[in-house]
Amino acid sequence: MLEFSRVGAEVGATTATLQKTRTLGAYFRALDSDDDLRLAAIFMSGRAFGPAKRQTLGLGWRQINKTVTTLSGRTEEELGEIWRKHSDLGDWAGEALEGRTEGKDVSLEALAATLEEIRAARGSAKAAPLEKLLNRIDAKAARFVVKVISGEMRIGLSEGLVEAAVAEAFEVPITQVKRVHLITGDIGETAVRCRHRQFETTTVTLFQPVRFMLASPVETAQEALERMGTAKVWTEEKYDGVRCQLHHAGDRVELFSRDLKETTAAFPELTEAALGLDHEVLFDGEVLAHRDGKVLRFFELQHRLGRKVVDGALRKEVPVALVIFDLLSLDGRALLDEPLQERRRLLESLEVRHPFLLARVEEASTAGDLDRIFADTRERGNEGLMVKDPLSPYTPGRRGLAWLKLKRPLATLDVAVTAVEWGHGKRKGVLSDYTFAVLDTGSGRLVNVGKAYSGLTDAEIATMTRKFLDLTVEDLGHVRIVKPVVVLEVAFDSIQHSGRHKSGYALRFPRIVGIRHDKPVEEIDTLERVAALYDRYFGEKAEIPLSEVAET
Ligand code: AMP
For the segment 56-96, what is each residue's pLDDT rounded down to a tens digit? 888 888 999 999 999 999 999 999 999 999 989 999 999 99
User: What Å distances lie between residue 60 and 114, 125, 127, CA to CA?
Assistant: 16, 12, 9
pLDDT band at 125 (very low <50, low <70, confident <90, very high): very high
Identify the CA nearest to 547 among candidates 312, 326, 271.
Answer: 326
The 3-state DSSP class for residue 205 equals coil
**Alpha carbon distances (Å) from 495 to 510, 545, 552:** 10, 21, 31
Å from CA of 427 to ligand 1 middle: 32
Q: For residue 543, what is the DSSP state?
A: -
What pLDDT sits at residue 251? Answer: 96
Which class for 502: exposed (0-12), middle (13-18), buried (19 or more C-beta within 10 A)? middle
At 527, the pLDDT band (50, 70, 90 cuts) reads: very high
Q: Return the pLDDT at 425.
A: 82
- Which of 405, 406, 408 has most ligand 1 atoms within 8 Å of its beta carbon, as the pocket-test mutant? 405
**Residue 523 CA from chain centroid, whole number:** 39
Distance 174 CA to ligand 1 centre (A): 29
3-class DSSP state for residue 488?
strand
What is the 237 CA–ligand 1 centroid distance (Å)? 9
Say whether 238 is catalytic: yes
Specify the residue with its C-alpha closest to ligand 1, atom 8. 238
More confident residue, 18 or 542: 18
Mean pLDDT of 182-200: 89
Domain with CATH 1.10.3260.10 in the chain: 2-150
- pLDDT reported for residue 426: 83
Separation of alpha carbons 24 and 27, rounded Å: 5
- Please compute Rg for the chain using Cα positions: 28
Helix (H) or strand (E) holding 548, with range, is none
Question: Rounded to whole angstroms, what are the CA distances from 211 to 234, 305, 425?
Answer: 22, 20, 32
User: How far is the C-alpha of 58 from the C-alpha of 52, rounded, in Å?
Assistant: 17
Q: CA-based diameter of the chain, in Å?
A: 76
Q: Which of 110-114, 232-236, 515-519 has the lowest mean pLDDT?
A: 515-519
Hey, what amino acid is at 152? E
Question: Pairing state of beta strands 399-407 and 214-218?
Answer: parallel
Ligand 1 atom closest to residue 237's alpha carbon, by position in its atom list:
19
Catalytic residue among 126, 147, 238, 405: 238
pLDDT digits (tens, 9 = 90+) for 394-419: 988 878 889 999 987 777 899 999 99
Residue 258: which residues within 8 A CB-CB, separation 6 or more? 212, 242, 243
Under a CB-based contact definition with an 8 Å cutoff, are residues 134 and 67 in contact? yes
Half-sphere exposure of 440 (CA within 13 A, CB side): 14
* CATH 3.30.470.30 location in the chain: 214-406
295 CB within 6 A, ligand 1: no
Distance 3 CA to ligand 1 centre (A): 45
Query: Quick one: which atom of ligand 1 is closest to the CA of 242?
Result: 12
What 3-state class would DSSP assign to 356? strand
Confidence bin at 549 (pLDDT 50/70/90): very low
The Cα angle at residue 522 between residues 519 and 528, in degrees rounded to 5: 110
Alpha helices in 233-366 (DSSP H): 268-275, 298-301, 312-317, 340-349
Of the candidate ranges 133-142, 176-185, 446-455, the one whose mean pLDDT is the lowest: 176-185
User: Of all atoms in ligand 1, which is nearest to the CA of residue 212?
Assistant: 10
pLDDT of 202 reads: 64
* Strongest mean pLDDT among 131-135, 303-307, 311-315, 538-542: 131-135
- Candidate from 216, 240, 243 with most ligand 1 atoms within 8 A of CB, to mutate: 243
CA distance 310 to 332: 31
Q: Residue 186 above 80 pLDDT?
A: yes
**pLDDT tens-digit series, residues 350-371:** 999 999 999 999 999 999 999 9
User: Which residue, by CA, sits nearest to atom 10 of ligand 1?
Assistant: 243
Does pLDDT of 552 surpass 50?
no
C-alpha to C-alpha distance for 155 and 144, rounded to whole angstroms: 10
By CB neighbour count within 10 A (0-12 exposed, 13-18 middle, 19+ buried), where does 16 fall? Answer: exposed
Per-residue pLDDT, 542:
55
Q: At what angle do helices 187-195 and 34-44 cross, to 10 degrees?
A: 140
If you take atom 23 of ligand 1, which residue's CA is the nearest one?
238
- What's the mean pLDDT when you consider all of the chain? 91
Which CATH class for the 214-406 domain? alpha beta
- Does domain 411-537 sit in CATH 2.40.50.140? yes
**pLDDT recorded at residue 550:** 43
Q: Which residues pair with 506 in a beta bridge?
A: 496
Q: Degrees (nearest 5) of the Cα angle 149, 123, 142?
A: 25
Q: Which of 256, 386, 494 to mutate to test the pocket of ligand 1 (most atoms within 8 A of CB)?
A: 386
Q: For the domain made up of 2-150, give the CATH fold.
A: DNA ligase i, domain 1 (1.10.3260)
**Residue 326's beta-bridge partner residues?**
284
CA 236 to ligand 1: nearest atom: 19
CB 348 within 8 A of CB 549: yes
> According to CATH, where is 2.40.50.140 located in the chain?
411-537
Asked which of 253-257, 261-265, 447-451, 545-549 is least confident by mean pLDDT, the reply is 545-549
